[in-house]
Amino acid sequence: MCGIVAYIGNKNALPILINGLRRLEYRGYDSAGVAILNNGEFLSAKSVGKIDNLATKLNGQDLAGTYGIAHTRWATHGGVTEANAHPHADCTGKIILAHNGIIENYRELKEELGASHTYKSETDSEVLAHLIEIYYKGDLRKAVLEALARVRGTYGLVVMHSDHPNTLIAARMGSPLVVGIGDNEFYIGSDASPMLAYTKKVIFLDDGEVTEISREQMNTVNLKDINVAKHVEEIEWDEAQAQKQGFPHFMLKEIFDQPTVMADAIRGRYNLADGIAHLGGLNMSLEQMHSVKRVVLIACGTASYAALVGKYMFERLAGIPTEVDVASEFRYRDPIIDSQTLVFGISQSGETADTLAALKEAKRKGAFVRGIVNVVGSTIARETDGGVYIHAGPELAVASSKAFTNMVAALLLCALQFGRINKLTLATGQRLLNALQEIPEKMQIILQQSDKIKELAEKYQNCRDFFFLGRGINFPVALEGSLKLKEITYIHSEAYPGGEMKHGPIALLSPQFPVFAIMTKNQLYDKMRSNIEEVKARHAPIILLATEGDDKASELAQDIIYVPPTMEVLEPLLNVIPLQLFSYHLAVALGRDVDRPRNLAKSVTVE
Ligand code: AGP
């Protein structure tokens, strides 16, 4: 995720900005830049790669000044290049800005701005600088407000103007911004970590707020230019906590990120009126899409469980036979692949060696090869002929959480796009999209049960074995829940389709062998209920995941976690969250290194 640092005050800005960027490195980035007002004009430097490259470039340059912006970029639109690094300027070079987020309608705005504007980058962010330029008539705050009124998307934004050396504008919509208060000076950051060395007094901007800052004061308004009262907070976090925005671990922060990044994953990628998804990045003509007779989903670990959910979605929504292959097995089993096969490589990091090798094999055999990845510009993103970025933001905890749900959302949109050029009706497409729009809010409802799930997890902390059961589209959710438990608590766990227990595994059940069963209201509810009755008859403790309002669930178990209802094909987006929280809290109770579990790497770049 990008990082912003800005300063307006009486100290030399450069060291504050560069040190501030270093505090934001944890967010993940691929380039960096800085701009400082020096003798009435902005001097800037940008570099690809680490901040050290930027610092080296700055050695010897006289970027003296007390008013400046710095940025670390995590590419979303446009490749990893110096030109695409922020800050960006307008045509005059008098307006500069740094931006976090996605300007969804940047193409339309760029078209409207017309050929009179010259651009130095491929980014959506630079368009915003030119939009402010056309609205600027001497009042920078008003120009920013008018420009933001035209924008659809998300932003954490800082804007400066060389003719206003005592004015900095900051605005927030969906990407956090924090203002640190000093003595006749202000610090701005994507979180509090860049300013903690100078001040603990901060103001957190909220969505829809624009604040005008001078060395003497700050004044905040909403998007209608009406004053908003803000209160100063004294934060007690240390730097590490600030990077986790107050959460004790990156993993918990990323579990709680899911409603926000889910909205990012689907934003601008569907049309409700037509009940369709439109994923331009798939880079397939209608004729090519119609030629696809089989889909193969290739991945590892958590991504392979997202792929299993994708199988249900493609077959149910698009009516296309779909297989899932663990990448490390795919190329050694003589796969039947041809020019009518669409192969997706699914990967958070986009660097997993097994997945990359499998995709190369599929390409050699003439398949359509596409990626569903999180890291823009990653090897898999570059090696495939298109695909879908999942927009989950950097996932720093080794155990995946938000990447899983965003991968599933991306697969859903792909299945919908194929389904609607085949048999899927307008009504079903609209019903699906209406239900999808409600998912972020329903995720929030589940996250509010975190403390309850914590108590439940602690109750089971002495268990040494677990089963996770699910049926249909929830079986992959059981697999993911079981992997989470193994990865971060080091407790043995297995996942089975509910109907499979009686074919052997049930021999293991005992009062010391709990079973976590997903029994949400769907077409397999009654079947799952009978499987759980088989478990109950062996006196194994049962933890149930049930749908709100299912008052019969308590006949089977005392420990029940309720989730909101949704369409069956969307259930994995909700049902996985209690399993993530259960494993997280159990790992914390056991004193595990939750963010860096033993033996694991975030990206397995060896076969
Ligand atoms: C997820 O919790 C694991 N850390 C691991 O299974 C991971 O999903 C797998 O290594 C694939 O990684 P990728 O998504 O980056 O390709």
Closest protein CA for atom 6 of ligand 1: 301
Query: What is the extent of the structural domain holding 469?
Result: 440-607
Tell whether 92 and 239 lie within a shared domain: yes
Boundary-marking domain end, from 226, 243, 260: 243
pLDDT tens-place string over residues 367-412: 999 999 998 777 898 889 999 999 998 888 999 999 999 999 999 9
Whole-number Å distance, alpha carbon 348 to ligand 1 midpoint, is 7
Tell whether 37 and 144 lie within a shared domain: yes
Our count of domains for the chain comes to 3
> What pLDDT, on the 0 to 100 scale, is given for residue 504?
92
pLDDT tens-place string over residues 506-545: 999 999 999 999 999 999 999 999 999 999 999 999 999 9
pLDDT tens-place string over residues 265-280: 999 899 999 999 999 8
pTM for the predicted model, two decimal places: 0.79
Tell whether 351 and 373 lie within a shared domain: yes
Residue with tokens 């600088």: 129
Tell whether 521 and 415 lie within a shared domain: no
Name the β-bridge partners of 173. Answer: 155
Tell whether 153 and 237 lie within a shared domain: yes
What is the rounded distance in angstroms from the CA atom of residue 5 to the CA atom of residue 15?
11
pLDDT tens-place string over residues 423-473: 999 999 999 999 999 999 999 999 999 999 999 999 999 999 999 999 999
pLDDT over 70 (residue 418): yes
Regarding the beta carbon of 300 and ligand 1, being less than 6 Å apart is answered yes
Instruction: State the pLDDT confidence band at 75, using cuts at 50, 70 and 90.
Output: confident
Closest CA to 22 of 64, 53, 68: 53
Q: In what order do the strands lie in the sheet with 155-161?
A: 88-89, 95-100, 155-161, 168-173, 209-213, 218-222
Specify the CATH number for the domain of residue 580: 3.40.50.10490
Regarding the beta carbon of 378 and ligand 1, being less than 6 Å apart is answered no
pLDDT over 70 (residue 416): yes
Alpha-carbon dihedral angle through residues 76, 80, 81, 84, given to the nearest 10 degrees: 10
- At 96, list the tokens: 């500069």
> What pLDDT, on the 0 to 100 scale, is given for residue 1?
67
* Parallel/antiparallel/unpaired status of strands 294-299 and 41-48: unpaired
Burial class (CB in 10 A: 0-12, 13-18, 19+), 311: buried
Cβ neighbors of 170 (< 8 A, separation 6 or more) are 6, 157, 158, 159, 177, 179, 188, 205, 210, 211, 213
- At 340, list the tokens: 């009518």
Instruction: State the pLDDT confidence band at 490, using cuts at 50, 70 and 90.
Output: very high
Boundary-marking domain end, from 181, 212, 243: 243
Cβ neighbors of 406 (< 8 A, separation 6 or more) are 261, 262, 264, 265, 374, 390, 391, 392
Tell whether 147 and 136 lie within a shared domain: yes
Substitution site in 348, 408, 605 for ligand 1 pocket (most atoms within 8 Å of beta carbon): 348
How large is the average pLDDT for residues 247-271?
A: 95
Regarding the beta carbon of 47 and ligand 1, being less than 6 Å apart is answered no
Tell whether 254 and 358 lie within a shared domain: yes
How large is the average pLDDT for residues 89-116?
A: 94
Whole-number Å distance, alpha carbon 302 to ligand 1 midpoint, is 5
3-class DSSP assignment, residue 161:
strand
Boundary-marking domain end, from 197, 212, 243: 243
| Largest interatomic CA distance in the chain | 81
3-class DSSP assignment, residue 158:
strand
**Which residue type is seen at 587?**
A
Whole-number Å distance, alpha carbon 385 to ligand 1 midpoint, is 22
Specify the CATH number for the domain of residue 109: 3.60.20.10
pLDDT tens-place string over residues 132-179: 999 999 999 999 999 999 999 889 999 999 999 999 999 999 888 999
Helix 250-266 / helix 402-419 crossing angle, nearest 10 deg? 20
Please state the three-class secondary structure of 205-223 as a single string: CCCCEEEEECCCCEEEEEC
Regarding the beta carbon of 349 and ligand 1, being less than 6 Å apart is answered yes
Q: Is-contact 528 571, C-beta < 8 A?
A: no
Tell whether 420 and 469 lie within a shared domain: no
pLDDT averaged over every residue in the chain: 94
Tell whether 137 and 196 lie within a shared domain: yes
CA angle 600, 605, 607 (to 5 degrees): 95
Residue 2 annotated to the active site: yes
